[in-house]
Structure 1
Amino acid sequence: MTTQTSTQKNYFNLHTTGIGYLSNIRTVTPKKGDEFLACTIGALIGEAGEGAKAEYRYFDCKVVGEAAIDLVNRAKASVEADKKVLISFVLADLWTDTFTYQKDGKNHKKGDTGVMLKARLIRIKSVKIDGVVKYKNQKK
């Protein structure tokens, strides 16, 4: 008689949910490792409603999972055509990364240190393109 032991790894997960505009969809080829799909999400924060002035928090995301990769790839042409692509999303493993500005800008000078919020885009719950629903996840 043989005894099999199955060990399942447990993880601590940090998930962030929200809605925001999709932009800068690109393929990243790192020096080491496999290439991957990436995008920027301008997440909306603040008061909602007509006349309210929402603010944005930008996340630079690695897109993971077949469903998320497929939906981002399908939205790429609309983003490149400057259409408004609004998504409801779930991000995982939020972290920060520092970088050096390469040129002067409105709020910074060349050589200044900047901070970027980074995460993994693990799920897209819905997609609207120019206000028209193109995808809505049926799972609750």
Structure 2
Amino acid sequence: MSNQANESQYFDLHTTGIGYLNRIREVKPKGRGVKPFLAVTVAALCGSKEAVEYRYIDCNVVGAEAEKLVRRCIDAVNAEKKVLVSFRIGDCWADPFTYSSGPKQGQHGASLKGRLLYIGWIKVEGEFVYEAKPRDAASAEQQGTDQGNEGDQSAA
């Protein structure tokens, strides 16, 4: 009972979907003791197939597996190939800013930010190159419903 009282408790806000990877980069923050991190912009798909819309989410890549997978995609993204992934992004927030140059100079804007936690599968130019293995029966069932019809295909 006392162990439960000492445990930290968190409320998770997760966004799941599919989208294209863009702008994979190593961010080296200024300041002492601040470690560099991997970042990526996910162009998340939403809306109907006939009129797809995109929501761009700038993400810090967290977790060893997610980082390894994003690093595997760097060459394809730099070669302007279409890299489509299923993703889970945590703790999205809006980051307000003011445009400092260009036609919108002085106007206010906002960008969506989050933490890329998980990649379920990766397609490069329509070909499966990675598919996560289910961890247990419950997650396999959930993953199958998240992926829809594409969950039946195996990685290439």
Matched, 1:34 2:35: yes
Query: Which residue of the other structure, out of 99, 113, 116, is the alignment partner of 1:118?
Result: 113
Give the aligned partner of residue 127 of structure 1.
122
Unaligned runs of 5+ in 1: none
Partners of 2:26 and 2:111 lie apart in 1 by 18
Q: Percent identity?
A: 47
Partners of 2:120 and 2:99 lie apart in 1 by 34
1:64-75 matches, within 5 Å, as 64-75=62-73
Give the aligned partner of residue 15 of structure 2.
16
If each structure's strand is expressed as a fraction of its own residues, which one has the higher value?
Answer: 1
Q: Report how many aligned residue pairs link the two structures.
A: 130
- Point out the more displaced range, 53-62 or 27-36: 27-36
Partners of 1:62 and 1:87 lie apart in 2 by 16
Kindly report the root-mean-square deviation, in angstroms, between the aligned alpha carbons of the 2 structures: 1.2
Query: Which residue of the other structure, out of 80, 83, 86, is the alignment partner of 1:82?
Result: 80
If each structure's helix is expressed as a fraction of its own residues, which one has the higher value?
Answer: 2
TM-score where L is the length of structure 2: 0.80
Paired AA for residue 65 in structure 2: A
The C-alpha deviation readout for 1:100-128, integer Å capped at 9, x for no partner, is 223324xxx21211100000000000100
Partners of 2:47 and 2:55 lie apart in 1 by 10
Give the aligned partner of residue 93 of structure 2.
95
Partners of 2:7 and 2:121 lie apart in 1 by 31
Partners of 1:85 and 1:102 lie apart in 2 by 31
Q: Which has the higher contact order (CA 8 A, sep 6+)?
A: 1
Unaligned runs of 5+ in 2: 135-139, 141-156
